[in-house]
Amino acid sequence: MKGLISITNNPAFNLATEEYLLRQTALDIFFLYTNSPSIIVGKHQNTLAEINFSYTSKHKIPVYRRLSGGGTVFHDDNNLNFCFIQTGIKGQLVNFEQYSQPILDALKSLGIDASFGKRHDIQIKNKKVSGNASHVYKSRVMHHGTLLFNSDLSTLSNALKNNPLIIKGKSVKSVRSEVTNISEYLSTPMKYEEFVSYVFKHLLNHYQQADELVLQTNEIDQIKSLVKDKYSGWEWNYGYSPNFEINKRYKLVDGSRIKSRLKIEKGIIKESEIKSSDQSLNHILRDLANQMVGCNHEYNSIKNILYKEQFKKITKEDKIQISDGFFS
């Protein structure tokens, strides 16, 4: 077993590192990393159905899709992510409790009464501190999870707050749980960096012959290519979402009521309807709806259409509301 700590807090790079280690090496390894504030959705989820689009846009919180299934999680500078990758026997690869145990042992050695939950999570006093997920590739498995040490739980709550009635689809939905921070249960205060170091050393001792791994230049180059081609792209992070419809009703500044419906397939707008209680707007909105068909369901793509000369009669304030209405 090898141990690796990431030297970057770039979410795309760390997610790409997981995929590289799983698919391009034969190593048994544990990998610890911290991401800058970001939202990480499960492979089979609808990105927009899992986030508060207005909040994440306003606060510039990026969203990434990971390789494993499961629900959406929030990462920040005080959340530790752990990843175990091993080769095993097909049919016996996924074992949440087995891979959670070394983490549980680390927490218990700090005097924290942590337990393994029914939803494959780690809890303290029935509150979640760790969500877990797995992904199988041939005869290898990747098991990874979060550890909320001293995360901003207010931002976590706001960023993941959404209206389930707006988006209709068959994607995997997250199950929300009450969460807490590990730091609140420490008898002796500990800095985040100390906690990371403690967990890493604990895992090195747990896997008796473990030693530290350093990525080589050629490996880093391969990971960077994966970041560029996949993890930093709209196609993977948003376009990969299962097909869905988004329906929205809202009022413009002048009180006019708007009703919109979009049908999205593989990230592309296939059907578009926009109607207003203001009859003078309807012919303009009909043109807008027609032009949107075939374009990416991506904010800037729609914004670029709205700012064409033919839509100049729509005020700036209304354009912002209409654009937002196609997403949240």
> Tens of pLDDT along the chain (328 residues)?
999 999 999 999 999 999 999 999 999 999 999 999 999 999 999 999 899 999 999 999 999 999 999 999 999 999 999 999 999 998 899 999 999 999 999 999 999 999 998 888 999 999 999 999 999 999 999 999 999 999 999 999 999 987 766 787 767 666 677 999 999 999 999 999 999 999 999 999 999 878 999 999 999 999 999 999 999 999 999 999 999 999 999 999 999 999 999 999 999 999 999 999 999 889 999 999 999 999 999 999 999 999 998 898 899 999 999 999 998 7
Name every residue whose Cβ is closer than 8 Å to that of residue 201 and which is 6 or more positions away in sequence: none
Which pair of structure tokens corresponds to residue 100?
A: 């959670």
Taking each helix axis from N to C end, the angle separating 299-306 and 316-325, rounded to the nearest 10 degrees, works out to 140
CA 76 to chain centre: 12
* Pair 184, 114: CB distance under 8 Å: no
pLDDT in the model for residue 165: 60
- Strand residues in 138-180 grouped as ranges (E): 140-148, 167-169
Fold for the domain defined by 244-325 = Enolase-like; domain 1 (3.30.390)
At residue 40, the pLDDT reads 97
The CATH class, in words, for 2-239 is: alpha beta
| Total residues belonging to the chain | 328
Residue 168's pLDDT is: 78
Structure tokens at 19: 């995929």
Find the farthest-apart pair of alpha carbons in the chain and give their distance in angstroms, rounded: 74
pLDDT value for 164: 66
pLDDT at residue 186, as a whole number: 97
Q: What is the pLDDT of residue 177?
A: 79
Query: Are the folds of 2-239 and 244-325 the same?
Result: no
- The per-residue DSSP string of 85-142 comes to EEE--TTS---HHHHHHHHHHHHHHTT--EEE-TTS-EEETTEEEE-EEEEEETTEEE
Q: Within 10 A of 62 (CB to CB), how many other CB atoms are there?
A: 15
Instruction: Say if CB 268 and CB 294 are below 8 A apart.
Output: yes
Return d(Cα 41, Cα 69) in angstroms, integer.
8
Supply the pTM of this predicted model.
0.92
- Domain locations in the chain? 2-239, 244-325
